[in-house]
Chain A
Amino acid sequence: MKASSPILWPEAPTVQTAPQSGLARSQHTSPGESAAGRKAVADRPVKARTPRRGHPDREPGLKRANFGRGAGLPTLLLLPQLLILAFFFFIPSLRALMQSVLLSDPFGSNVQLVWFDNFKALFANGEYRQSIVTTIWFTVAQNVITLAVAVVLAFATDRVVRGRSVYRTLILLPYAIAPAIAGILWAFLFNPVVGPLAHMLHALGISWDPNRNPNDALWLVIMAASWKHICYDYIFLAVGLLAVPASLMEAAAVDGAGPIRRFFLIALPMLGPTVFFLAVMNFIYGFFETFAIIDAVTHGGPAGATNILVYKVYVDGFVNLDLGSSAAQSVLLMTFALICTLLQFRYFDHKVNYGV
């Protein structure tokens, strides 16, 4: 074991009360680290509220050395971003909110306020409820497969020495591939007429036809979506494993814990926040980015078996021209995405606490 291992622990052994912790920590870390540590503390809303000596009016997220109070220049600097957001984010979002409580015919000539009728109609609609169920199946299966494979691969990468960078590069490759292309590759592999893997399934006596059988189609898009996304989870877990303090693992090894036990009892719990973050990101990916896979492979079919929510928004808005319903669906999806964002902010807190 290395003698210098306590230096890996700038965060853990602080027992001081909150207002002092920033100062106390800076005493036993290097100057560079202390600066970063102080920022992290000032960034946390709870800590930032307690007034600190010398800076009674310190605002969160503002540099101590700043350029004073003039509002002209910062307004100019913010203008491009705020304009783009206004035109392509806030106004569209507000319009979606407005349209979701309006009923209009496809030509937009007859508009009336119907309050929450669009939402009520959605939940009364069997097709929409089916779409919710499909989406849950799709995202949960995709999430579980992606995380499980990524955890196993990350564990193996952490063990091997020879060829590690080659493995890592190969496993990372799908990140470069557009979801639509991933869908096309898998659609070919499992094409019931020419696909080589579909041929193997047929040879095994399994009747496989994603163009007719709803279950087959759903599994096909789940496989394509997972294949494309494993690399993302994998790299975060692999990097996270590198950051697990070696001293902990060594101590456990001295106590007689084998590699697998150490992984599940020490490394994985320490990566808990990362796993949580990845699960939320997987849901975001499954809900929204997999649109391309669905559109390129199944078009939501057969019989609506792969008609996930985001695909339905598109079909209802651009094909069926049912703007009110489509807007109501958009609002529901936005709510879901906002919940995910809030969850992610909680993740930031946890990450600071664990110090991983």
Chain B
Amino acid sequence: MVERAPILDTICHAILIAGALLVCVPLYFAFVAGSLSIAEVQKVPLPWLPGDQFVANLQAAWVKADFSRTFLNSIVVAVGIAAGKIAVSLLSAFAITYFRFRYRMLAFWLIFMSLMLPIEVRIVPTFEAVANAALPLQWLADTLHVADLWKWISGHDVTIALEWNMVNTYPGLILPLIASATATFLFRQFFLTVPDELCEAARLDGASPLRFFWSILLPLSVSNIVALAIILFLFGWNQYLWPLLFTTDKDMATAVIALKNLIPRSDSEPAWNIAMSGALLTMLPPTLVILLLQRWFLKGLIDSSK
């Protein structure tokens, strides 16, 4: 439908330009501040045009926040979350849509209870669980009096002290963030739209369930997998609370956490120029992902919320 409403169209353009400015003004000032020297950035008012210290500040921020280490950590965590969650979810979604077994609905509800409970609400007990993942086993051993049993059988006195500390490890950073059902739900919805004829044909040809999964279902899911991987990568890169609790060892900090330590506090030198160039560096990888893979990103964003 073509309709002439030049005044309204002009207003719409004005609205959109205002919206774009709203997004860009904070980013522009971050760039300006990131290009000034420490003396200039404290001048009031802040200059409107960038200075010439941009590269020097980037280098300073890179060293000060140890980005060569923390970027690596962020990449490992983000990729680990994306790959782990997708792999685990594909398998479980396959199981609950393509197999008829006794406790299918139970498994379904167990998984979907976790659909929307973010890690922030159960942060303290999750931290305890990861600080010693063997705690439930210990509890089991204590309740069943395994130690007494062993003493009775062998005559030796033993104490069972299980400990499996995951603080400051990659699995400890990654696994708790995989524990939710969003991706499983997405793949389940997708599998339900795959034509039944494909599975029937595969069975006629004598394909095993795993063969069907690998040769037919997985290739069909590629676009969903890519889209979801992008969303999960952004989710993992931008994580804050969970890595914050895990940065007892500086070498395991992620980029966002390292950046947080660059923000000037009231008792330190107000090095906003370094903090801002650090912020620009940290937001660069996810921004590139959105700009370069926008179509996939949009698909993932819409799909993962259905």
Residue numbers of A with Cβ under 8 A of B are 35-36, 39, 43, 59, 61-71, 73-75, 77-78, 80-82, 84-85, 87-93, 95-96, 99, 149, 152-153, 155-157, 159-160, 163, 167, 169-182, 184-189, 191, 193-196, 199, 211, 227, 230-232, 235-236, 239, 246, 249-250, 253, 258-260, 277, 281, 284, 288-289, 291-292, 295-296, 310, 313-314, 317-318, 323, 326-327, 330, 333-334, 337-338, 340-341, 344
Contact = CB atoms under 8 A, between A and B. Distances in A.
B27 to A, nearest CB: 7
Given A81-B92, A88-B179, A227-B22, A313 B124 contact: yes
Contact of B121 (A63, A258, A330): A330
A235 B19 CA distance: 13
A288 B120 contact: yes
Contacts of A235: 298, 301-302
Given A70-B99, A178-B282, A296-B263, A172 B289 contact: no
Interface in B270-306: 270, 272, 275-276, 279, 282-283, 286-287, 289-291, 294, 298, 301-302, 305
19 contacts: A71-B102, A74-B99, A82-B111, A84-B175, A85-B111, A87-B133, A87-B179, A88-B178, A89-B117, A90-B110, A93-B117, A163-B13, A178-B256, A194-B270, A232-B301, A288-B121, A313-B120, A314-B123, A326-B124
Contact of B95 (A69, A74, A326): A74
A63 B98 contact: yes
Given A160-B13, A199-B44, 19 more contacts: A35-B196, A66-B199, A70-B101, A84-B179, A87-B175, A89-B117, A156-B16, A178-B239, A194-B41, A194-B44, A236-B302, A246-B1, A253-B1, A253-B3, A288-B121, A323-B124, A330-B124, A334-B121, A338-B116
Interface of B: 1, 3, 5, 8-9, 11-13, 15-16, 19-20, 22-27, 29-30, 33, 41-42, 44-46, 87-89, 91-92, 94-105, 107-108, 110-111, 114-118, 120-130, 133, 135-136, 175-176, 178-180, 184, 188, 191-197, 199-200, 203, 209-210, 212, 234, 237-241, 244-245, 256, 259-260, 263, 266, 270, 272, 275-276, 279, 282-283, 286-287, 289-291, 294, 298, 301-302, 305
A185 B115 contact: no
Contact of B234 (A176, A258, A296): A176
A195 B33 CA distance: 10
B141 to A, nearest CB: 15
Contacts of B41: 194
A69 B209 CA distance: 12
Contacts of B88: 80-81, 84
Nearest to A277: B305
B101 A71 contact: yes
A90 B238 CA distance: 25
A259 B203 CA distance: 54
A235 to B, nearest CB: 6
Contact of A188 (B30, B123, B188): B30
Of the listed residues A75, A194, A330, the one surrounded by the most CB atoms of chain B closer than 10 A to its CB is: A194
Given A68-B100, A84-B178, A236-B302, A337 B259 contact: no
B1 A77 contact: no
B3 A77 contact: no
B90 to A, nearest CB: 9
Nearest to B266: A211
B3 A318 contact: no
Contacts of A194: 41-42, 44, 46, 270, 272
Contacts of A59: 100, 104-105
Contact of A185 (B30, B87, B89, B301): B30
B20 A170 contact: yes
A86 B200 CA distance: 34
Of the listed residues B22, B42, B99, B301, the one surrounded by the most CB atoms of chain A closer than 10 A to its CB is: B99
Nearest to A314: B123
Contacts of A91: 125, 129, 135-136
Given A87-B133, A88-B179, A156-B15, A80 B305 contact: no
A291 B120 contact: yes
A27 B97 CA distance: 26
Nearest to A316: B124
A304 B41 CA distance: 30
A176 B209 contact: no
A295 B240 CA distance: 10
Which 6 pairs between the two chains have the least Cβ-Cβ distance?
A178-B238, A292-B240, A92-B125, A317-B124, A176-B286, A77-B95
Contacts of B129: 87-88, 91-92, 95
Contacts of B259: 180-181, 184
A193 B44 contact: yes
A102 B181 CA distance: 30
